[in-house]
């Protein structure tokens, strides 16, 4: 990277919205292809219904087992409508999470995000916060037209309810 990305932690209250998602189990090495095909399928379904995403693409990671990663990924939508095939619609039960979270902005290649996770894990521990084990990444720009060093990911680690 040409610059140093300093992480700034923040506590946020996340609000849920309907989403179209694909839920899968995969190896971390298969994520790029899975996401590429999956996001394209969701965008095609939205286009077929004359709709657009309600926000940037996201992924929810339910565990951190790099050989058997459980992930749900997709786009928020402004209003619920029927999914198709492997694409789940809002209420079945695809929604963005509603939770308290500790968050930071990561700028850089997706495959080098680990220091941002390490930072939030340590900051959460130092501040006696209990994590749920679920992480939520929002991809703020398009890797098709953005240099890997400039990709922006909003990283949220969800907290357990008190």
What predicted TM-score, i.e. pTM, was given to this entire model? 0.93
Count each helix (H run) and each strand (E run) in the chain, helices first.
Answer: 2, 8
Domains and CATH numbers, the chain: 1-14+99-162 (3.20.80.10), 17-96 (3.20.80.10)
What are all long-range contacts of 38-45, with beta carbons under 8 Å and residues at least 24 apart?
A: 38/73, 38/74, 38/86, 39/73, 39/74, 39/75, 41/85, 41/86, 41/87, 42/74, 42/75, 42/87, 43/75, 45/20, 45/83, 45/84, 45/87
Measured distance CA(156)–CA(86) in Å, rounded:
25
Rounded CA gap, 109 and 153, in Å? 9
CA dihedral 150, 138, 15, 34 (to 10 degrees): 170
- Cβ(54)–Cβ(77) below 8 Å: yes
Reported as type and span, the H/E element at residue 7 is none
Q: Which of 80, 70, 76, 7 is nearest to 43 (CA)?
A: 76
Per-residue pLDDT of the chain (162 residues; tens, 9 = 90+): 444 568 999 999 999 999 999 999 999 999 999 999 999 999 999 999 999 999 999 999 999 999 999 999 999 999 877 788 888 865 556 899 999 999 999 999 999 999 999 999 999 999 999 999 999 999 999 999 999 999 999 999 999 987
């Amino acid at each position: 990277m040409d610059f140093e990305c300093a992480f700034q932690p923040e506590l946020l209250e996340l609000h849920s919205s309907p989403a179209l998602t694909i839920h899968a189990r995969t190896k971390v090495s298969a994520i790029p292809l899975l996401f590429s095909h999956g996001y394209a399928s969701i965008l095609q379904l939205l286009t077929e219904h004359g709709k657009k995403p309600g926000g940037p693409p996201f992924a929810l990671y339910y565990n951190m087992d790099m050989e058997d990663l459980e992930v749900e990924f997709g786009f928020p939508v402004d209003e619920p409508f029927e999914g198709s095939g492997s694409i789940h619609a809002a209420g079945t039960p695809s929604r963005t999470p509603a939770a308290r979270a500790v968050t930071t902005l990561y700028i850089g290649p997706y495959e080098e995000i680990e220091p941002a996770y390490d930072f939030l894990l340590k900051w959460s521990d130092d501040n006696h916060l209990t994590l749920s084990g679920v992480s939520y990444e929002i991809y703020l720009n398009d890797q098709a037209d953005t240099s890997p060093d400039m990709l922006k990911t909003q990283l949220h680690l969800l907290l357990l309810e008190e």
